[in-house]
Amino acid sequence: MSVLVFGRSGQLASDLQHVAAARGIALTALGRNEIDICDRDALLRAIDAVKPQALINAAAYTNVDGAESDEAAAFRLNETAPQAMAQAAHHARLPFLHVSTDQVFEGTKKGAYTEADATNPVNLYGRSKLAGELAVAAANPEASIVRVSWVWGPSADNFVKKLLQWASVRDELSIVNDQYGRPTYSPALADALLTMATMPHRPHGLIHYAGGDAMTRSDQARAVLAASRTHGGPFAHVKDVPTSAFPTPAARPLNAELDVSKAHALGFKLPLFADSLSDCVAAIVKGLPR
Ligand SMILES: NC(=O)c1ccc[n+]([C@@H]2O[C@H](COP(=O)([O-])OP(=O)(O)OC[C@H]3O[C@@H](n4cnc5c(N)ncnc54)[C@H](OP(=O)(O)O)[C@@H]3O)[C@@H](O)[C@H]2O)c1
């Protein structure tokens, strides 16, 4: 099995490389210095050189607040690039897996969002990711569009790592208690994507993949800091505050919970947050290299 991944040093791209190596899958990851991901001809040349059996897009404009003042770059990376990839994959007749986000939803639904629910992003990042989903589906109806949520893990900066940094300099952290979602362990997501890429009956169109349990940001923070204290790492008390206490350039959907019944029915493992928490926090606390 050989897979071509767009994105190299990002959180998911890094874990795709680690998991592929562990599974004996040949994986080539191309970062921004190696390819212009908006250039369809460059993508076709890369496909010709690598001769992969599947393509995965792990590259995106992911700075949610930054996107509000950087619309052209957000749409270039989140719409134009995946559209070009979907076209190239269609041309080369290769499976294409594109990664999207819970932020295509407004966040006001009572209960988890299914693949059939109407989208209505509340920020520019979400609008650019939704434009990417639509462009991919139009260019390549066989593409898999995998919406994920609250991605965390050992490989890059994320909410869990930020908590440990904040706790090392403060005794109390104010964390929002009205944002709700399913933390998704990046290595588990990478594993699921690599499995999906090789499935004989790969799901086409939208599929939600996220962790096995939903929680608020403040409960997530409490669990992370308790694990850190167990491993001799930084600890701080968590004070519940509403999102309205933290004005940010980009609005956030309050309910980011994805319904993962479809992924579950297809046999994907959806690990609980606690399953990986202790080992991952221990590794972060010890500063272990990945
Ligand atoms: N993190 C989350 O909580 C979260 C939640 C929901 C959905 N997602 C989605 O999950 C996917 C992976 O996110 P992530 O957490 O791995 O993001 P990340 O750590 O910010 O990585 C972003 C990736 O995009 C690439 N990239 C950025 N700017 C680029 C440019 N100008 N040209 C080419 N490539 C560029 C980077 O390439 P280099 O390798 O060259 O640096 C990097 O590999 C994205 O589609 C994101 O929208 C993430």
126: Cβ contacts below 8 Å, ≥ 6 apart: 101, 103, 104, 105, 253
Task: Ligand 1 pocket test: pick from 11, 35, 55, 62 the residue with the most ligand atoms within 8 Å of its Cβ.
Answer: 62
Instruction: Name residue, tokens 């993962």.
Output: 260
Q: Mean pLDDT throughout 2-9?
A: 97
Render pLDDT for 75-100 as a digit per residue (tens, 0 to 9).
999 999 999 999 999 999 999 999 99
| pTM to 2 decimal places | 0.96
Token pair for 97: 């897996």
One-character DSSP codes across 163-174: HHHHHTT-SEEE
Is residue 148 within 6 Å of ligand 1 at its C-beta?
yes
Is residue 250 domain-resident?
no
Residue 233: pLDDT over 50: yes
State the chain's mean pLDDT as an integer: 96
Query: Given this model, what pLDDT does residue 111 score?
Result: 96
Residue 288: pLDDT over 60: no
125 is catalytic: yes
Q: Mean pLDDT throughout 222-242?
A: 95
* Cα 7 to ligand 1 centroid, rounded to whole Å: 7
* Cα 27 to ligand 1 centroid, rounded to whole Å: 17
3-state secondary structure of 225: helix
Query: Given this model, what pLDDT does residue 220 score?
Result: 97
184-185 and 237-241: which strand pairing?
unpaired
Domain extent at residue 14: 2-156+182-213+255-272
The CATH code of the domain that includes 71 is 3.40.50.720
Is residue 93 domain-resident?
yes
Query: Given this model, what pLDDT does residue 202 score?
Result: 93
Q: 243: number of CA atoms within 13 Å, CB side?
A: 14
Render pLDDT for 141-150 as a digit per residue (tens, 0 to 9).
999 999 999 9
Residue 289: pLDDT over 80: no
Residue 218: pLDDT over 60: yes
Is residue 12 within 6 Å of ligand 1 at its C-beta?
yes
Query: Given this model, what pLDDT does residue 246 score?
Result: 87
Query: Given this model, what pLDDT does residue 290 score?
Result: 45
Q: Are 169 and 123 spatial neighbours (Cβ–Cβ below 8 Å)?
A: no
Render pLDDT for 35-80 as a digit per residue (tens, 0 to 9).
999 999 999 999 999 999 999 999 999 999 999 999 999 999 999 9
23: Cβ contacts below 8 Å, ≥ 6 apart: 191, 194
Using CA atoms, how far apart are residues 224 and 9, in angstroms rounded to an integer? 24
3-state secondary structure of 122: coil
156: Cβ contacts below 8 Å, ≥ 6 apart: 9, 10, 11, 14, 186
Is residue 278 domain-resident?
no
Is residue 222 domain-resident?
no
Query: Given this model, what pLDDT does residue 70 score?
Result: 97
| End-to-end Cα distance, the chain | 23
Residue 103 Cα: closest atom of ligand 1:
6
Q: Is 200 exposed, middle or buried (0-12, 13-18, 19+ CB in 10 A)?
A: exposed
Is residue 53 domain-resident?
yes
Query: Given this model, what pLDDT does residue 140 score?
Result: 98
The residue whose CA has the least distance to atom 42 of ligand 1 is: 10
- The Cβ of residue 233 has, within 10 Å, a number of other Cβ atoms equal to 18
Is residue 243 domain-resident?
no
Using CA atoms, how far apart are residues 271 and 211, in angstroms rounded to an integer? 5
Is residue 101 domain-resident?
yes
Number of domains in the chain: 1
**Closest among 135, 183, 191 to 160, alpha carbons compared:** 183
* Cα 60 to ligand 1 centroid, rounded to whole Å: 4
Residue 155: pLDDT over 90: no
Is residue 6 domain-resident?
yes
The torsion region of residue 51 among left (phi > 0), alpha (psi -120 to 50) and beta comes to left
